[in-house]
Amino acid sequence: MMKKILARGELIAVVLTAFLALILGGWQIMLIAALAGMLIGLSAEHKANYLPRAAGVAAFVGLILIAITHFHNTSLSTLPGMEHIPDQAKTVGTYLIALGVIIGLAVLTAWIHNLADERKRQVYFIGLMVALAVFFPFFEQCPGLSWTNFKFVDMAAGCSEQSNLLWIGPVIVMFIYALQAIGLNIVAGFAGLLDLGYVAFFAIGAYTMGLLRSQQLGSQMGDPDFFRWSFWIVIWIAAATAAFFGLVFGAPTLRLRGDYLAIVTLGFGEIVPIVVKNLYAVRIFEPISLFIGQLFGQKSSDLMQFCLLGCGAKPLDITAGTKGISPIYPPDFFGYTFTVGEYVPWYFLALTLLVVSAFFIYRLRASRIGRAWVSMREDELAANAMGVDLIRTKLTAFVLGAMFSGFAGAFYASYTTLITPDSFDFSISVIILAQVILGGSGNIAGVMLGSSIIMLIDRVLLDKLKMVINGVLQGLVFKGIDNQALAVFWTSLTDATAYKILLFGLILVVMMKVRPQGILPEQTAARRRAA
């Protein structure tokens, strides 16, 4: 029944809206409205009056959104452990603006989606996304949100709520992962090389930044501030270092095929953090005396050797082992210094990095190099016979992928100010690969979408879900029951964050079954070009 009235995308919008509104509530009504609006717009088929129809559907979904959000704001949020919803979020004004956002975006997206000119459609859509991304932090920050009541509310009153800053931190991390995902997409999506150790280059980028912008090395050299090079130079050095290691790792191994390459890269991902973990007491002697001495049968303890590195009283501590490097200096930008907790500048730095990289990768894909990558993925032998140099082409893909991961790592190190070997776990390689596969291997926009979905589930939604379930259990179910042990058992059993890896695994399995090409498959691009 529903299916006939609503298109599939619209149905998804309804379900998603209801679910998100239920667990998020509050200010997030605006984000949900924007998301649902675009979804509805994207599912608008080109028919006689698609614009009024999109508006109608959006209004319908908007009302559902408002109803459920209001339920959350007034009922759910009073349960134990739930976040307090500021009063400004519960006003009719906020609800009306949300309605406006959903209808407006639905109509706008529907219009763009149905433009005849393919190029225009692409440019407008990217423009819309960038505009929303630029708008987002102001909107989410308290002063911006206060405008939704058509007036500046007393900032101290409504805006001290920490919950207002729920999204921007996770979104910055999401950008870092998206940057890695589009980089991995070059290797795995375009060139078809399964890289299971992509995190290695993330780590190399991060540690390059850490070493060149902290007191770690300087303090052992007598001048703590020696390594305080400009962020804007070091980020390039970090990317170049990662790319260099991409070359070093890739050159001997890219001759391997399929599974073998996957295993070797898996090794890289494991080796790099282990090496980093162990570089805390380094003293290097020149090896020539030892060699000659041994040749003449001398014991190494009797030898006079020249020390090359770490010759002081203590050996050189390069990476601080498991303790990690900290603090890493934040970037400066024309006199302004980035600070921890002040998210907006970080947000724009990450956004710029991501957008420029995506643009770069898009252009690479459209060039002869990109065609060579994809042809190799499609049929290596035929590509070779058509004049594609396999080793060289694989190596460019591998090195460029490493480079983008290096950028991401360098940014990450500055942003978190602390890096330890444990931050570069194997699971990161897997999560990024999952983002690529979920979003649509080979499609840059799809991969970024995959990143957003997984990162938001990971960093926001599961926490919120846990909170809601907890609240319901504590406040309603176990209220009258005097059995503490049972309550604890149930709350731990329903801790959504504990099922994270299971959930990602499930998502991948389901995707493989119903849509193996990913949410936004690569070929739609080709098909659309034909239209």
Partner 1 sequence: MTLLLKADRVTKKFGGLTAVNRVDFEIEKGMIAGLIGPNGAGKTTFFNNITGLYTPTEGQIYFDGQVITGLKPHLIQKRGISRTFQNIRLFGQLSALENVLVGEHVRLHGSILEAFFRPPRVMAEEKMARERALDVLDFVGLGRKIADQAARNLPYGSQRRLEIARALASDPKLLLLDEPTAGMNPQEKRELTDLVRHVRDNMGVTVLLIEHDMKVVMGISDRVTVLDHGEKIAEGLPQVVQKNPQVIEAYLGTGAAAEGA
367 binds partner 1 (CB under 8 A): yes
Q: Which stretch binds partner 1 (CB under 8 A): 57-65, 103-111, 382-390, 426-434?
A: 382-390
Q: Cα 490 from chain centroid?
A: 32
371 binds partner 1 (CB under 8 A): yes
Is 407 within 8 Å of 238 (Cβ atoms)? yes
530 binds partner 1 (CB under 8 A): yes
Q: Which of 65, 106, 358, 400 binds partner 1 (CB under 8 A)?
A: 400
**385 or 502, CB closer to partner 1?**
385
119 binds partner 1 (CB under 8 A): no
Nearest in space to 300 (alpha carbons), one of 309, 308, 289, 310: 289
121 binds partner 1 (CB under 8 A): no
Q: How many residues bind partner 1 (CB under 8 A)?
A: 33
Q: Which of 307, 308, 386, 476 binds partner 1 (CB under 8 A)?
A: 386
Is 72 within 8 Å of 18 (Cβ atoms)? no
- Whole-number Å distance between alpha carbons of 33 and 103: 8
Binding string to partner 1 for residues 510 to 529, with x set by CB under 8 A, is what? ------------xx--xx-x
443 binds partner 1 (CB under 8 A): no
Q: Which of 208, 396, 414, 470 binds partner 1 (CB under 8 A)?
A: 396
- Whole-number Å distance between alpha carbons of 183 and 354: 10
Cβ neighbours of residue 422 under 8 Å, at least 6 residues apart? 273, 322, 324
Cβ neighbours of residue 314 under 8 Å, at least 6 residues apart? 220, 281
Least distance to partner 1, CB of residue 190, Å: 11
- Point out which residues pair with 333 in neighbouring strands: 336
Q: Which of 206, 209, 354, 364 binds partner 1 (CB under 8 A)?
A: 364
385 binds partner 1 (CB under 8 A): yes
Q: Which stretch binds partner 1 (CB under 8 A): 9-17, 84-92, 265-273, 365-373?
A: 365-373
Q: Which stretch binds partner 1 (CB under 8 A): 40-48, 76-84, 383-391, 499-507?
A: 383-391
Give, in order, the Cα–Cα distances in Å from 195 to each of 260, 294, 465, 506: 10, 42, 33, 21
Q: Which of 178, 211, 388, 430 binds partner 1 (CB under 8 A)?
A: 388
DSSP structure class, residue 284: E
Burial of 509 (0-12, 13-18, 19+ CB in 10 A): exposed
Is 348 within 8 Å of 355 (Cβ atoms)? no
Assign 3-class secondary structure to 46-61. CCCCHHHHHHHHHHHH
**295 or 381, CB closer to partner 1?**
381
SS3 336: strand
Q: Which of 304, 381, 502, 514 binds partner 1 (CB under 8 A)?
A: 381
Is 166 within 8 Å of 28 (Cβ atoms)? yes
**278 or 524, CB closer to partner 1?**
524
**31 or 254, CB closer to partner 1?**
254
Q: Which stretch binds partner 1 (CB under 8 A): 123-131, 181-189, 205-213, 376-384?
A: 376-384
Least distance to partner 1, CB of residue 392, Å: 9
502 binds partner 1 (CB under 8 A): no
Run of H or E residues at 258: helix 258-278
Q: Which of 11, 369, 456, 457 binds partner 1 (CB under 8 A)?
A: 369
Q: Which stretch binds partner 1 (CB under 8 A): 83-91, 130-138, 303-311, 366-374?
A: 366-374
SS3 515: coil
Binding string to partner 1 for residues 51 to 80, with x set by CB under 8 A, is what? ------------------------------
372 binds partner 1 (CB under 8 A): yes
Q: Which stretch binds partner 1 (CB under 8 A): 82-90, 133-141, 379-387, 410-418?
A: 379-387
Is 289 within 8 Å of 304 (Cβ atoms)? yes
Coarse DSSP helix, strand, coil percentages of the chain, rounded to the nearest 5 percent? 75, 5, 25
Strand-pair category, 307-309 with 284-285? antiparallel
Q: Which of 303, 378, 427, 498 binds partner 1 (CB under 8 A)?
A: 378
Q: Which of 123, 382, 477, 506 binds partner 1 (CB under 8 A)?
A: 382
Q: Per CB under 8 A, which of residues 304..363 are in contact with partner 1?
A: 360, 363
Burial of 394 (0-12, 13-18, 19+ CB in 10 A): buried
CA torsion angle for 401, 403, 407, 410 (degrees, to 10)?
A: 120
Q: Evaluate the omega torsion of the peptide bond into residue 516 and state whether it is cis, within 30 degrees of 0.
A: no
374 binds partner 1 (CB under 8 A): yes
420 binds partner 1 (CB under 8 A): no
**71 or 236, CB closer to partner 1?**
236
Q: What count of other Cβ atoms lies within 10 Å of the Cβ of residue 356?
A: 12
**122 or 141, CB closer to partner 1?**
122
Q: Residue numbers of the site for partner 1 (CB under 8 A)?
A: 360, 363-364, 366-372, 374-375, 378-379, 381-390, 396, 400, 442, 522-523, 526-527, 529-530
